[in-house]
Structure 1
Amino acid sequence: MVTVHAETPPALIELKGIRRSYGGTGGQPEVEVLHGIDLQIHAGEFVAIVGQSGSGKSTLMHLLGCLDRASSGSYRFAGHDVSQLDSDELAWLRREAFGFVFQGYHLIPTESASENVQVPALYAGLPEHERAQRAAALLTRLGLNDKLDLRPNQLSGGQQQRVSIARALMNGGRIILADEPTGALDSKSGEQVMALLHELADAGHTIILITHDHQVASQARRVVEIRDGNILADSADHSVPIQSKAEPLRLDPSQAQYAAANTLWNDLRESARTAWRGMRLNRVRTGLTLLGIVIGVASVIVMLAIGEGARRQVLERMGTMGTAILYMGSRPPATGGPSGELTEADLQAVRELPEIRYVLPVIGDPTTVRYGSKDKEIYVFASSEQMPAVHHWPVEQGRFYTEAEDRALAPLVVLGHKARQHFFPDTPNPLGRQLLIGASPFEVVGVMSERGADSGAQDYDDMVFIPYRAGRARVYQTQTQPDYVVMQAMSSEVVNEAEAAIRTLLIARHGREDFGIGNAAARIQAEMATRRSMSVMLGLIAAVSLVVGGIGVMNVMLMTVKERTREIGIRVATGARQRDILRQFMTEAVLVTLVGGTVGVIAGLLVGAVLIVSNVPVVFSVSAMLGAFACAVATGLVFGYMPARTAARLDPVAALTGE
């Protein structure tokens, strides 16, 4: 901690042997602008540094204001070696000690007078309401109380310069660095600005005035003349002690690590506000940039919704075949010998396995079926009452037979859709009619809904269905075991485990593998996996739009950085750190993608609604919408980083002089 005492004041600013060179890399010649400058400035002094263009005075000002670093020599500020300060400490020093007043005013064109004045306090972490109050007080003090909400292009040159002075004073402005403050003003406005600088000097501010005009310089209390990078003359009278009205300046650069610790929220709000204003001012460009993000997000949502809708539609249709179905039948063992026999005890043991939900023995064979004068060879399907549940196949008319009726060998029959049309084309209600199946009469108790034929299989709609036990007793008397057994696992996820459990059980019971198990669910699951892969592929294709949109964001942000180069320099001069600039432009990029992502989600839902109205199977996924939105935001982070880093790494001096 260093304290400057007014009684025996050491120099506030002390330069020894300061040199500044440019070039010398990339084959460019090295040009030395400052040639060993020695200069001391005390607190409370009003110093004018005067020189012609090219004399090095602006370079000297940039070094004094910690916007640039010397190539060699020593710069001590309040006793601290400035060359030992890192970038954050230099930013803190600019924010706490210096206030810049530029010839070109250097006001941010999109901000109001009040908002321009508040910029230094933003990076100092001052709360918003306090910033606004202090800015209003400063502008009122400078006669601009009715101009708070006007933008720079609505102010005269003299008014803009007063806004610049108010900004320099926002954080205290202990040292005012004024670079040609009257150069762009008419004589009256110039006199007003000089009068303000005199008032500030009288109030104890240290004023360093950079000018080429000797008449303006003569109004200062000390004149330093510079020519060709050397100090030619200095009017300082070192025999007279400097009396400053200001409080002693205490400088502790270690506080830089705490500076703006409470400004994150303020910075984010400010960045979002600035970005939103820029988006509104550049509506067409913003709209075109957002279009890529909107299309990308909407495409991902719609494509995945269509894919999921198609998958579920296929699953529903294939569900009638059973997504957890296994088929089993007798066969000779691989080692030779007779075929095995599946007994009722075997089937009961399989039913007791925890992986199995249903066990459906089936006997079926084409058999002559008659009604009146009509007869037809029809596949008579003898199975238990669980057949509709296993095959997800509802009864359309009447009912299906029950377990009790099966045990009682009840002669009941349920017709397939086409079988009903064949035997009862003109009878609305065939229930109660008698069919002759083989030589046995069966009463019609129900009609199945239309199902359609499975690929490579007989048409189920052309069958009739009778109870398993009644079928064995009345139609298939010679059958000692089912033709095959249909089994349904508890879920499609445990089909393979169920198959293994059945095989293990029956080998233990038979002592050999004299049966075969067909896993129909595996084929269905493979097809569903293919459908899922297609959905993922559609989603990936749609995601390309997000990448294209991200590239658009990057291009626009690079253009924005180029357009706002001077603004970046202004913010750095008023105390912004590299991370503050990086955060600002990253926030702007993310805000663009947030808006694009939101609009994209809405657009995707609207497109999906139109498809639903058009009878296209669409199933929206909340996870897909959240994922697409998150990808849009991630796109802003990824593609906004490079432009933001470019902005953060801009040289402050080059930025201030840029367009």
Structure 2
Amino acid sequence: MSGAPLIELRGIRKSYGGQPRDGAPATEVLRGVSLRIHAGEFVAIVGASGSGKSTLMHILGCLDRASEGQYLFDGRDVGGFDADALAWLRREAFGFVFQGYHLVPTESARENVEIPALYAGMPEAARRERSTTLLSRLGMGTRLDHRPRQLSGGQQQRVAIARALMNGGRIVLADEPTGALDSRSGAEVMALLRELAAQGHTVILITHDREIAAQAPRVIEIRDGQIVADSGEPQEPAAAAADAAIPALAGGEASVAAELRDAMRAAWRVMWGNRFRTGLTLLGIVIGVASVIVMLAVGSGSQNQVMAQMETFGSRTMFVAAMSASSRERGAPLRLDDVGVIESVPNVLAVAPYIEDRVVVRRGGIDHNTEGGGATVAFGKVLRWPVTEGAMFDAADERRAAKVAVIGQTVRKRLFADGSDPVGQDILVDKVPFQVVGVLAAKGSSGGEDQDDRVVVPMSAAVARLYGRPYPSWIAVEIRDRDLASETAAAIEARLAEHRRGKDVRIWNQAEAIRVQTATARTMTVMLGLIAAVSLVVGGIGVMNVMLMTVRERTREIGIRVATGARQRDIQRQFMAEAVLVTAVGGGVGVAAGLITAVGLWLADVPVAFSAAACALAFGCAVLTGLVFGFMPARSAARLDPVLALAGE
């Protein structure tokens, strides 16, 4: 005998059952099988059903492990290989041809043939060229894009043979390759196997048909798990098999991008093939994503509306007013020198005293009762109240108690109903002539009062020409940091108490109220978003349920992919990609549905605030849902026993 064997089995035993957890008695299928096969041999292993020949093939093809004994492949002990190394060996050395063809139903003939090369990391162009060449050589050149259901049994078996040769097919393991074929197709397949053997491939044929087995130069008979006859090993290995040795364990691996692309393509076909079920699965994700977007949009819109109303006089503004010492005693009024005390408090940015009372304004024959106010030049800045026409009075006007005024939008409408420009015209304020120099921007109503129904003059003019008293009705205070509003209000109270020798002022802390309201509104918005997110969780559970069903339905496909060299992580990536694709499509449709719904609410005058961040968050949560809820089914698929998977329906 010349040359070391390519495959050597030493005392191989295989038992099933006998584990405490399954309660089944141990059944020994292989009983000390020893066997040597050289590169380039054409060997037929024949035996009746239940003799152990299929189990022997699974061990030879590294789909199963022996319970006892040693398996040497090209001189290396396969028993020490981990799962990835076994996958590498299947990918690089073996090609399987099964009785049931075992083609992936959603893939074309060419794509089925390319599966082993995909896991081997062969570039797409090279894969396509080789698969086309192999199929053409086997008479399938006109059926490249046909799906398995569009092919006859003989044609499907040719595709399976081409797949076995895709990565070189140094060893072709054929399990009852003619069992499901008519006599003509069976003869063609056997002719192909003999041709492969003549070209130097090692062919191991598993069959129960002795006539089929007799066509192989070497026939091994197995009965009751033992080899009972062997026509003998060849004296010289075939010369054409010189390249049958397997390279060192460093074979190429599929690129992540190529595998993901293939996984997404396969996932889309599975989704499209089960459109109704996929649609129902997507519905939960769509509702969840749309709900999150709509809830956040409505919540943010309502929050913004409330904040806009509360910020009529500034979001960082508080107001200081005098209060009575008791119910029967009038407290001391605010004084102008209190302004300087307030300005000395840290975190105070600007101070604007304001004196107010009812006045009658007149222009021509039109009289109007309105609120008259005296203010400093800080009025517009502190209260966030700009002038839309003309200009605000300045410091020079205040120093000389100038008779100038700015009017609100309501006063403008009453006194200048003829549409004339009010800027530069004179009006009477309590019979005192004032020149209108500007018109305040519209503020609307606040607390039931029309904020635009007022006329404002310099503080000095109000004291000297209208009211005759230097006591501000209130003092507006603008602060730097709204988060320090409460501390600033307490400091103002303390300074004024020391300055005025008594606690006789009250502070309306609008800045703190807005801060609290903002935090409350934000919390409510988050709560609305979380409530809507429950729909996403429900949708995710639906995805997991469907993916578990998909794994069960596609166990044979998983077995096929494992037999062609897929590692556990390849299978897991395949099913994770499907789960993510489902949720990503559902997320995209959900975003569109949510935006359309939000637009509809906006057209119905419901306050909404569109947010790209909310859309991205909802979509991201949908994809994350696919990752989380798809993990368990994907892991379950990756851990399937390849032998049981191949036998599954």
Normalising by structure 1, what TM-score? 0.88
2:273 corresponds to which residue? 281
Whether 1:559 and 2:559 are equivalent positions in the alignment is: no
**Offset of residue 288 of structure 1:** 2.2
Q: Which residue identity is paired with 1:642?
A: M
Cα 1:40–1:20 change in 2 (3 A) is farther
1:325 corresponds to which residue? 317
2:109 corresponds to which residue? 113
More displaced 10-residue stretch of structure 1: 292-301 or 240-249: 240-249
**Offset of residue 581 of structure 1:** 0.4
**Offset of residue 540 of structure 1:** 1.3
Distance 1:181 1:277 in 2: 28
**Conserved 8 A contact 2:355-2:375:** yes
Cα 1:86–1:530 change in 2 (3 A) is same
Cα 1:475–1:13 change in 2 (3 A) is same
Cα 1:180–1:410 change in 2 (3 A) is same
2:160 corresponds to which residue? 164
Selected match of 1:53 from 23, 44, 49: 49
More displaced 10-residue stretch of structure 1: 457-466 or 74-83: 457-466
Whether 1:475 and 2:470 are equivalent positions in the alignment is: no
1:3 corresponds to which residue? none
Whether 1:174 and 2:166 are equivalent positions in the alignment is: no
More displaced 10-residue stretch of structure 1: 507-516 or 68-77: 507-516
Distance 1:130 1:572 in 2: 22
2:285 corresponds to which residue? 293
**Conserved 8 A contact 2:117-2:167:** yes
2:511 corresponds to which residue? 521
Distance 2:155 2:392 in 1: 93
Cα 1:237–1:278 change in 2 (3 A) is closer
**Offset of residue 387 of structure 1:** 3.3
Distance 1:434 1:159 in 2: 101
**Conserved 8 A contact 1:21-1:34:** no
More displaced 10-residue stretch of structure 1: 364-373 or 167-176: 364-373
Q: Summarize deviations over 1:7-64 as a string: whole Å, max 9, x none.
A: 4334523232423333534222222212222222222221111111111111111111
Q: Which residue identity is paired with 1:469?
A: S
**Conserved 8 A contact 2:9-2:69:** no
**Conserved 8 A contact 1:319-1:391:** no
Q: Which residue identity is paired with 2:542?
A: G
Distance 2:426 2:372 in 1: 17
Q: Which residue identity is paired with 1:38?
A: S
Selected match of 1:150 from 146, 154, 157: 146
1:307 corresponds to which residue? 299
**Offset of residue 493 of structure 1:** 5.1
More displaced 10-residue stretch of structure 1: 534-543 or 283-292: 283-292
Normalising by structure 2, what TM-score? 0.89
Q: Summarize deviations over 1:58-88 as a string: whole Å, max 9, x none.
A: 1111111110111112222222222111101
1:362 corresponds to which residue? 354
**Conserved 8 A contact 1:355-1:497:** no
Q: Summarize deviations over 1:154-203 as a string: whole Å, max 9, x none.
A: 11111111111111111111111110011111111111111111111111
Q: Which residue identity is paired with 1:142?
A: L
Whether 1:613 and 2:603 are equivalent positions in the alignment is: yes
- 5+ residue gaps, structure 1, are 1-5
**Conserved 8 A contact 2:334-2:473:** no
Counting matched residue pairs gives 644
**Offset of residue 495 of structure 1:** 4.2
**Conserved 8 A contact 1:43-1:244:** no
More displaced 10-residue stretch of structure 1: 6-15 or 389-398: 389-398
**Conserved 8 A contact 2:44-2:206:** yes
Q: Which residue identity is paired with 1:652?
A: P
Distance 1:426 1:345 in 2: 41
Q: Which SS does the other structure have where 1:55 is aligned?
A: coil
Cα 1:444–1:650 change in 2 (3 A) is same
Q: Which residue identity is paired with 1:644?
A: A
**Offset of residue 611 of structure 1:** 3.1
1:15 corresponds to which residue? 10
**Conserved 8 A contact 1:99-1:177:** yes
Distance 1:332 1:377 in 2: 28
Name the Cα RMSD after superposition.
3.3
Q: Summarize deviations over 1:284-316 as a string: whole Å, max 9, x none.
A: 222222222222222222222222222222222
Q: Which residue identity is paired with 2:355?
A: I
Selected match of 1:466 from 453, 457, 468: 457
Cα 1:353–1:237 change in 2 (3 A) is closer
1:641 corresponds to which residue? 631
Map 1:483-632; keep pairs closer than 5 Å: 483-490=473-480, 492=482, 495=485, 499=489, 517-632=507-622
**Offset of residue 353 of structure 1:** 7.5
More displaced 10-residue stretch of structure 1: 498-507 or 284-293: 498-507
Q: Summarize deviations over 1:236-295 as a string: whole Å, max 9, x none.
A: 156x3444421254446642xx641x5222111111111122222222222222222222
1:203 corresponds to which residue? 199
Cα 1:170–1:447 change in 2 (3 A) is closer
2:36 corresponds to which residue? 40
Cα 1:426–1:108 change in 2 (3 A) is closer
Cα 1:461–1:44 change in 2 (3 A) is closer
Q: Which SS does the other structure have where 1:409 is aligned?
A: coil
Distance 1:215 1:604 in 2: 68
Distance 1:57 1:419 in 2: 103
More displaced 10-residue stretch of structure 1: 140-149 or 351-360: 351-360
More displaced 10-residue stretch of structure 1: 383-392 or 142-151: 383-392
Q: Summarize deviations over 1:79-100 as a string: whole Å, max 9, x none.
A: 2222111101111111111111
Q: Which SS does the other structure have where 1:304 is aligned?
A: helix
**Offset of residue 557 of structure 1:** 1.5
Distance 2:209 2:590 in 1: 58
Distance 2:367 2:257 in 1: 85
Cα 1:65–1:345 change in 2 (3 A) is same
Q: Summarize deviations over 1:309-363 as a string: whole Å, max 9, x none.
A: 22222222222132111223467999xxx98886656635755888444321122
Distance 1:157 1:369 in 2: 101
Cα 1:414–1:145 change in 2 (3 A) is closer
Q: Which residue identity is paired with 2:240?
A: K
Distance 1:649 1:150 in 2: 31
Selected match of 1:653 from 629, 636, 643: 643
1:88 corresponds to which residue? 84
Map 1:210-225; keep pairs closer than 5 Å: 210-225=206-221
Q: Which residue identity is paired with 1:467?
A: P
**Offset of residue 638 of structure 1:** 0.6
Q: Which residue identity is paired with 1:653?
A: V
1:269 corresponds to which residue? 261
Distance 2:74 2:437 in 1: 105
Q: Which residue identity is paired with 1:476?
A: Y
More displaced 10-residue stretch of structure 1: 214-223 or 243-252: 243-252
Distance 2:606 2:492 in 1: 41
Q: Which SS does the other structure have where 1:94 is aligned?
A: helix
**Conserved 8 A contact 1:368-1:375:** yes
**Offset of residue 658 of structure 1:** 0.2
Q: Which SS does the other structure have where 2:609 is aligned?
A: coil
**Conserved 8 A contact 2:178-2:189:** yes
Q: Which SS does the other structure have where 1:105 is aligned?
A: coil
Q: Which SS does the other structure have where 1:475 is aligned?
A: helix
**Offset of residue 109 of structure 1:** 1.0
Distance 1:371 1:269 in 2: 78
